[in-house]
Chains A and B, each alone.
Chain A
Amino acid sequence: MTRDDIRDEILDILGDIAPDEDLSDLKDDQSFREQMELDSMDFLDIVMELRKRYRVQIPEDDYVELASMNSTVNYLEPLMKDTVKA
């Protein structure tokens, strides 16, 4: 998957777990939490969805990498480079 593919996938997951939020003007360099209401259970939803959709396993120590869109894509890019978009 390309960086754009990964970004689209994260946006799709965010749309499911934060259905009241408008994600159209999400700033990729800003943390998710500064821009929307997300708590620790929501971040676990991101981890869970990636596991379900692409079998990506994210160790708990790496959860901090999911802070913003940029950091998330940076973190996932090497893990998902050989993954085929669903």
Chain B
Amino acid sequence: MTSQASPTDRIVITGIGLTSPNGNNLADYRDALLNGRSGVRDYEIRYVGKTLAGVCDFDELKYQKRKEVRRGTRAGSVSIYCANEAITDSGVDWANVNRQRVGVYLGVTEHGNVETENEINEIKAYDYDTSVWSHHHNPRTVANNPAGEVTLNLGITGPHYTIGAACAAGNAGMIQGAQMLRLGECDLAVCGGVSESIHTFGIFAGFASQGALASNADPTKASRPFDKNRNGIVVSEGGAIYILERYQDAAARGARIYGEIAGYAMNSDASDFVLPNPDEQSRCMRMALERAGMNAGDIGILSTHATATPSGDIQECEAVRRVFGQSTTTAINNTKSFIGHAMGAAGSLELAGNLLSFVDGVVHPTINVDDLDPECELPGLVLNESLEGRDVKAILNNSFGMLGINSALIVTKV
């Protein structure tokens, strides 16, 4: 695949750090996806009670002191873990990196709900006396918190902020990182998406009220996009953070390159708060292809966003059918079937789950499809078993979110 970008505009991935409900590094995560290991388990949260969730078990104390964990947020700890792992993975000489030239851009679906719920629960025990409301509340709930905690932990003095983009946030964080490198705002972008969502009861209760919260006697079977018996979303936490650099910088230091950001697009449905819109979703995918100078047939893997809601999956399949319906070379899969919906981390984790296909030639499946919904039928769907021996040269990663936010990110093999 020849890049359409000028040499200084070519942006590549050189490091990945992640925590997923089924793995705390890329190798373990990939192994879980190729061997059908789900990360969804039984879970309980205040007021809602027993439910299911994708829970991460990374070691918070690997990169933080206990006091830092206590003072910060779960999203901050997820971000700090992933950022440190990504920097190590990139092989960059971190001790000698100019930290003023590092930017941190993290996508989040929401932030602050966890801390606000915790504080309200705390003051309830004091008859709602706000004088016991924590002085830590504001630094924990400012929207830049997860990215800011990364800068504090790593001594990064370049720009940092979060990108609020509902469930398109993981892609949005990576797109922001690529754009800032192209604008010369930084020389190294620490970017991706994170989520602490399972620690807020509100997200579970909200999806339940909407009729969109998954339930299943077997937690590992609960997240089942495209299956006729799907009954909603499994909420998960997690994070995937990437190191992006200009190609020339990465090549000059002999860095391992996972892939190149070849194209991307974001747009809006402008049609509904929650219902997706296949017209705009398909336009988003087409824009990304056009910007990458590619056709649908050039995409070896289409990583779908599908969350296992009855209508959302059908709408996305309709959008995908319009763009990829004639492609005989595109394999289509879904990572949420393993890990649930990691919200702000979904897009970046799902891309990470597929990137190693450039190396191993395997396409991980969509699991839990016992009875394919005819309305979700697409040529190229990889169901229940991995597809081996594929020469994958490009991945298109879909991530969509509430308020009609759409993103498509294309990464190519270098």
Contacts and interface: CB of A to CB of B under 8 A. Distances in A.
Interface of A: 16-20, 37, 41, 44-45, 48, 51-52
Contacts of B132: 48, 51-52
| Interface size class, chain B | 10 to 19
B46 interface: no
B135 A19 contact: no
Nearest to B70: A19
A20 B67 contact: yes
Given A51-B131, A52-B126, A18 B67 contact: yes
B134 interface: yes
Q: Is the interface of A mostly helix, strand, loop or mixed?
A: helix
A41 B136 CA distance: 8
B318 to A, nearest CB: 51
Nearest to B66: A19
Contacts of B66: 19-20
Contacts of B126: 52
A45 B135 CA distance: 8
Pairs of residues from A and B, 7 with the lowest C-beta to C-beta distance, nearest first: A19-B66, A20-B65, A44-B135, A20-B66, A52-B132, A20-B67, A19-B67
Nearest to B123: A52
B71 interface: yes
A20 to B, nearest CB: 5
A62 to B, nearest CB: 16
5 contacts: A16-B70, A17-B70, A20-B65, A52-B126, A52-B132
A41 to B, nearest CB: 6
B135 A41 contact: yes
A48 B119 CA distance: 13
Which among A16, A41, A51, A52 has the greatest number of chain B C-beta atoms within 10 A? A52
A20 B134 CA distance: 21
Nearest to A52: B132
Contacts of B131: 51
A48 B134 contact: yes
Interface of B: 65-67, 70-71, 126, 131-132, 134-136
A19 B66 CA distance: 6
A67 B134 CA distance: 21
A51 B123 CA distance: 12
Given A17-B67, A41-B136, A45-B135, 12 more contacts: A17-B70, A19-B70, A20-B66, A20-B67, A37-B67, A41-B135, A44-B135, A48-B134, A48-B135, A51-B132, A52-B126, A52-B132
A48 to B, nearest CB: 7
A51 B125 CA distance: 13
A48 B70 CA distance: 15
B184 to A, nearest CB: 36
A16 B136 CA distance: 15
B66 to A, nearest CB: 4
Contacts of A45: 135
Contacts of A20: 65-67
Contacts of A18: 67
A18 B69 CA distance: 11
A51 to B, nearest CB: 6
Nearest to A36: B67
Nearest to A37: B67
Contacts of B71: 41
A17 B131 CA distance: 19
Contacts of B134: 48
A47 to B, nearest CB: 9
Contacts of A44: 135
A83 to B, nearest CB: 17
A59 B66 CA distance: 29
A36 B134 CA distance: 22
Nearest to B133: A48
Nearest to A49: B132
Contacts of B136: 41
B67 to A, nearest CB: 5
A6 B185 CA distance: 53
Nearest to A51: B132
Contacts of A52: 126, 132
A69 B65 CA distance: 24
Name, among B66, B67, B71, B134, the residue most crowded by chain A CB atoms within 10 Å (CB to CB).
B67
B172 to A, nearest CB: 31
Contacts of A17: 67, 70
Nearest to B68: A20
A54 to B, nearest CB: 12
B403 to A, nearest CB: 35
A45 B134 CA distance: 8
